[in-house]
Structure 1
Amino acid sequence: MNHIAFQAERREDVDRTAAFLKERGIHLLYGSPGQFHSEIEYYAVFFEDPFRLKLEVVYSPPYLLNSTEAIDTGVDPES
Structure 2
Amino acid sequence: MLTVRYFAGARAAAGGVSAEEVSAGSLEDLAEVLTSRHGERLGLVLKAASFLVDGLACHDRRAVLPAGATIDVLPPFAGG
Tell me, yes or no, whether TM beats 0.5.
no
TM-score between the two structures when normalised by the length of structure 1: 0.30
TM-score between the two structures when normalised by the length of structure 2: 0.29
Asked which structure has the greater RCO (Cα within 8 Å, sep 6+), the reply is 2
More strand by share: 1
Give the structure with higher Rg (CA).
Answer: 1
